[in-house]
Structure 1
Amino acid sequence: MKDNYIPLRVNREFGEIISTYFDFFKQNIKNFTNVFISYNGIFLVGLLIASYLLVSGFIGMIAHEYNYENVSGEIGLEQNYYLYLGFGGFLFFVIFICVAVLNYSLSSSYMIKYVEKKSSDIDKKEVWEYAKSQFGNIILFVLLLIPIYLVILMASFILVIIPILGIFAQYIFQFFISAWIGVSFFDMLEKKKGITDALGEGWRLVTANFWKSVGVNFILGLLLGILLMITLIVPAIIIGVYTFHVVENNVDYSHSIVTTIIYTLGTCFILIIAVYGQCLSQFVNGILYYALHEKTYNENTRASIAQIGQNY
């Protein structure tokens, strides 16, 4: 494995960061997916439950809207559908926040261990222990992001209402924030810094390399989005064909177990892909962090020169 190690502490230009990301992705996707499944099991079950509640609510509301006679016609049923939707949506929101924190931590810790061991042969327990050791800082970091994102939302709203240029400015601002938060989070875990110090360091690194940071997040975000959409093609076709069958044959979907199962599994799969995409996006900022940090401080370059000097 060590022969295939991809050095990440390297000052790379824009195109090199893109290619390095996909090299890292291909080499580590199987091992990291094992880590992802191992520590997200309970949340994946939760997403399945949330999907069932959301699907049940939507199906019930649609059936009620079209006045299906088989829907029982009870007055309280419509309220039940709203309860399903409300509780399912709330459950999904809570799980999504939890897995966002967990998977940002796991993906960052995995990459840090990869650099530390110079190998992709990483024990999932090592990744978990490293992330767990900094859970206090991680939770505080997330809590601090709440007021930060409120300010960001206000700024985004102001930009959006500006004709034409405002829309482009809003997207640039969005990808800049994504780079800043991702690089800061990575710096906090990698250097074991305090939250404000990490946010300050992330700000310095990203602002000093503004267009590179924005461009990397835009291009890789776009490519990852396309990749994730491709993985959804097969379930989308299955759901589409089944929906066509339901409509054409006037199937009573409100009482069909098959309908509930197909739509529940489809919804759950989409939610899992969305969660998994979070991990892949943090890998982007991990590689960006190492490139920007090495460009700024030349730590790896100086260490290599010093090691050469010791050999003579």
Structure 2
Amino acid sequence: MKDNYIPLQANRDFGGIITVYFDFFKQNIKNFTNVFISYNGVFLIGLLITSYLLVSGFLGFIAQEFNNDSFVDGNEFELDHYLYLGIGGFLFVIILIGVAFLNYSLSTSYMIKYVETRDENVDKKEVWELAKSQFGNIFLFVLLLIPIYFVFVIAAVILAFIPLLGFIGQYIVQFFLTAWVGVSFFEMIQKKKGVTEALGEGWKLVTTNFWKSVGVNFILGLLLGILMMIALFVPGIIIGIYTFHVVENNVDYSQSIVSTIVYTLGTCIVLIIAVYGQCLSQFVNGILYYALHEKAYNENTRATIEQIGQND
């Protein structure tokens, strides 16, 4: 209902951003999950196939390490599982890029449509159309992330040589990078700007509000991490109990269909939850973006004042 709309375009302090994030989360989690499932179907199937290949490969190598008596031809067995791991790893990288490409787009487009329509019942077709219209820029954005993250890795390695302060510095740089990339992506889709222009604007907004940007991503990233761990609690217990059963009863897991199914589903669930968590983390930077943008430009405040003037 439009009466329940949570205004996002407002200059908020650190605590206000966190509060509004959870209000938005509670209100929109069901509808966004529907959007997520609707447009991630192919990738979810791909993750299941990838999980099967990776699990089959790893189980084979573990069995070989312990000299499993079920081997008929060790060289052939080893080659098969190298093949499983190779294909599974390749598919994983491709799917990971595709998932990043799609879900950054979906979560950003969903929040933009929420602001435009001022309605929690965002139409998933409108979300898709907005994301699809920006696929060219989104693809270039994802490509530019490769050198950006390469520089980050170099900086992280350098900081690793500095005791304690380097460890803290790594996390500060990591959360700054997350904020910059997320805010820039919102600027690109919201304002329909080019990639470099959006990255420049995102840099300005985040550096001007450095500690707020880093702090919001740290606190909400930590809380989302805990939430994802809770989501993994039940499947984790099931897999743990089954693994105990395998070890205690000396089950030949390399040849067991049940073992393959259990570990494949477990791996797939972990990957799906990780992908979903990526969407939720982009919502963090959506709330941050609107707060920083309003602080810098007061667009919503001015529009509200003008509207009051017209009504008078």
1:154 Cα deviation from its structure 2 partner: 1.0
1:163 aligns with 2:166: no
Distance in 1 between residues matched to 2:71 and 2:244, nearest whole Å: 21
1:73 Cα deviation from its structure 2 partner: 3.6
Q: How does 1:163-242 map to 2 (within 5 A)?
A: 163-242=163-242
Aligned length: 312
Q: How does 1:43-192 map to 2 (within 5 A)?
A: 43-192=43-192
Gaps of 5+ in 2: none
Regions of 4+ moved over 4 Å: none
1:273 Cα deviation from its structure 2 partner: 0.5
AA partner of residue 84 (structure 1)? Y
Give per-residue Cα distances to partners, 1:229-278, cap 9 Å, x unaligned. 00000000000000000111111111111111000000000000111111
1:75 Cα deviation from its structure 2 partner: 1.8
AA partner of residue 259 (structure 2)? T
Partner in structure 2 of residue 18 of structure 1: 18
Distance in 2 between residues matched to 1:16 and 1:307, nearest whole Å: 25
**Pairwise CA RMSD:** 0.8
Give per-residue Cα distances to partners, 1:43-63, cap 9 Å, x unaligned. 100000000001101111111
CA contact (8 A) 1:71 1:254 kept: no
Please identify, of 282-291 and 65-74, the stretch whose mean Cα deviation from structure 2 is larger. 65-74
CA contact (8 A) 1:54 1:85 kept: yes
Distance in 2 between residues matched to 1:170 and 1:254, nearest whole Å: 40
CA contact (8 A) 1:63 1:71 kept: no
Distance in 1 between residues matched to 2:235 and 2:191, nearest whole Å: 41
Give per-residue Cα distances to partners, 1:118-154, cap 9 Å, x unaligned. 0111111100000000101111111112122211211
Distance in 1 between residues matched to 2:149 and 2:259, nearest whole Å: 39
AA partner of residue 19 (structure 2)? S
1:273 aligns with 2:267: no
AA partner of residue 30 (structure 1)? K
Please identify, of 260-269 and 69-78, the stretch whose mean Cα deviation from structure 2 is larger. 69-78
Distance in 2 between residues matched to 1:257 and 1:64, nearest whole Å: 17
Distance in 2 between residues matched to 1:276 and 1:89, nearest whole Å: 20
CA contact (8 A) 1:105 1:131 kept: yes
Please identify, of 153-162 and 127-136, the stretch whose mean Cα deviation from structure 2 is larger. 153-162
Distance in 1 between residues matched to 2:289 and 2:254, nearest whole Å: 50
1:36 Cα deviation from its structure 2 partner: 0.5
1:74 Cα deviation from its structure 2 partner: 3.2
1:193 Cα deviation from its structure 2 partner: 0.5
TM (norm. structure 1) is: 0.98
Partner in structure 2 of residue 27 of structure 1: 27
Q: What percentage of aligned pairs have identical amino acids?
A: 75
